[in-house]
Amino acid sequence: MRLMQSFFRAYPLRTALMLAALLLSALAEGVGLSVLLPLLNIALGTDSGVSLPGNEAATNDFEVTVRNALDSLGIAITLPNMLLVLVGGVALKSVFLLMAQRQVGYTAAQVGTDLRLQMLRAILHSKWEYFLHQPVGKLTNSLATEAQRSSQSFVNGATAITFLIQAVIYGAVAVALSWRASLAALVAGIVVIGLSHFLVRITRKAGKKQTTLLATLMALLTDTLQSVKPLKAMALEELTDNVLARAANQINKSLRRQVLSSAVLDSAQELMFTVFIALGIYVALEMFSMELPTVMVLVVALGRAFSFLGKVQKQYQKLAQGESAYWAMKGAIDEAEQAEEQLDGGITPTLQQAITLENVAFAYDRHRVFSGLSLNIKAGSLTTLIGPSGAGKTTILDLVLGLIRPDDGAVLLDGKSLQEIDIKAWRKMIGYVPQETILLHDTIEHNITLGDPELKSADVEAALRKAGAWEFVSALPGGLDMVVGERGGKLSGGQRQRIVIARALVNNPILLILDEATSALDPDSEAAIRQTMEDLKGRLSILAISHNKAMIQAADQVYLLENGSARLVEAGSDSSLGK
């Protein structure tokens, strides 16, 4: 039960409370069961109804012990009293079991929550190069499927422990009644468990297969949903459908093995346990000449013990089916934590002179992007990077952001190496506008603040004014409280872009980065964004990637990137447009 040990170490207090409640519940049930033998003697007329000196009415040592315990508590051996003890034991069992189940439920919810948060934090704090190699579908599968399966595995493990404790209590009562008959029956029960354990191994193997296949399917599904429009446009849906169907059918095969092994375990256990209980009755009556009331209680105790042992194995089988999800998720978390990005510490950043790339060399997966690249981005200016696809424009942005480090050379802020700078403090001074303007299905204000409690409506308005967006936002129904729709669908492309620029400006950055931010705009929107950049020049530094004429004409300097080098070209000229 390595999985449960991991859970217990993670939640020691919750586990202790759960186990205490389970133990008290089982003991309460044992108390109720212990009075069953005196109760049967009364019902069958073999007891006078009075606890006599020397316990003459007792039929065996177990009943003697029970009668003595009841006598010490001042409880007479009468039918009403025995029924009250029986009902009281069941009532206490229910109360303690409820407490235990509540702890199990709360802990299971916490398991899922903690795993999701650990996964998110580990991924968000990992190095950019590590993040680039992680399929979005894999992360989605971990947060949704694997976290839920891990949580359910804890429930299954806790339930198995519940049944195990109850089986031990019933087994103890059976042993107290007749240790020889009970021992023979319990050994037989253990044999049954051992013989059927191969079904658990089949389920565990199926569970591991499901974990791998679900991650693959989610990765494929995520990529497909992001590409639905071009697939439909070229009538290629069937090709993708075939790939997804193949993965789904493999999962189905694994699930069928799991279902079959569970069904076989259910049916085989019931039959074998019934046979051994019948054998125990025969031995007790014929070989040991036990009294009928004692045999009846023994049958109840052994029957319940076997029933709970069977349930232990079934719950363990379910745990085995889901445990691979937990270990896969923990492995992914550990891997991401090992790739954690070190951000804090270093020199406080400033940008009063320039950002300089000095003889920078960089390669992605052995693909050389730069070798000896140098350029200078003056503070307070608008610098535009142009060049063919793959020339390294976005790589320069990533180097400036500190998301990646050069293999050789240096990135300097006011003459100080970025490797000596407090990267977290530096990024807080940056506003970033990506190529794809994705807005949340929320209000305009929330899309700008992203829920930052320190930002007020006045800050949002100021950012919108800087972005040249306040005029159209204030005219919208609801103004700042207008919900923009899925991916900002209620707004035009130019309006969405201005909202994203306002988001980048709301924290008053000293550097604004635009990564192809105007590539999909119409001429009027492009001209408006150009005017916004003209207004912002001088108030902050702007670094942009763009091939649009308006952004190039607005630039103070333009760098053309090609063949791993950068050269200054005249802003607005044909050469600056890459012609």
Indicate the class that CATH gives domain 354-569: alpha beta
Contact 384, 397 (CB under 8 A): no
pLDDT at 364 over 50: yes
Average pLDDT over residues 86-111: 87
In words, the CATH class of domain 2-11+110-338 is: mainly alpha
What end-to-end distance do the CA atoms of the chain give, in Å? 68
What secondary structure does DSSP assign to 239-287, as a single string?
HHHHHHHHHHHHHHHHHHHHHHHHHHHHHHHHHHHHHHHHHHHHIIIII
> Residues of the chain with pLDDT > 90: what percent?
0
Residue limits of CATH 3.40.50.300 in the chain: 354-569
What's the rounded mean pLDDT across residues 161-182?
81
Percent of the chain with pLDDT over 70: 84
Measured in degrees and rounded to the nearest 5, phi and psi for residue 403 equal: -70, -30
pLDDT at 346: 80
Give the pLDDT of residue 57.
45
Residue 353's alpha-carbon distances to 138, 396, 507, 570, in angstroms, are 43, 18, 21, 22
User: 214 with 252: CB under 8 angstroms?
Assistant: no
Mean pLDDT of the region 95-105: 88
Q: What would the pLDDT profile of 303-341 be if each residue is shown by its tens digit?
A: 788 788 888 888 888 888 888 888 888 888 898 888 888
**Which ranges in the chain are annotated with CATH 1.20.1560.10?**
2-11+110-338
**Structural tokens at position 81:** 């009293």
Q: What is the pLDDT of residues 474-524, one digit of tens each?
A: 888 888 888 877 767 777 777 888 888 888 888 888 898 888 766 556 666
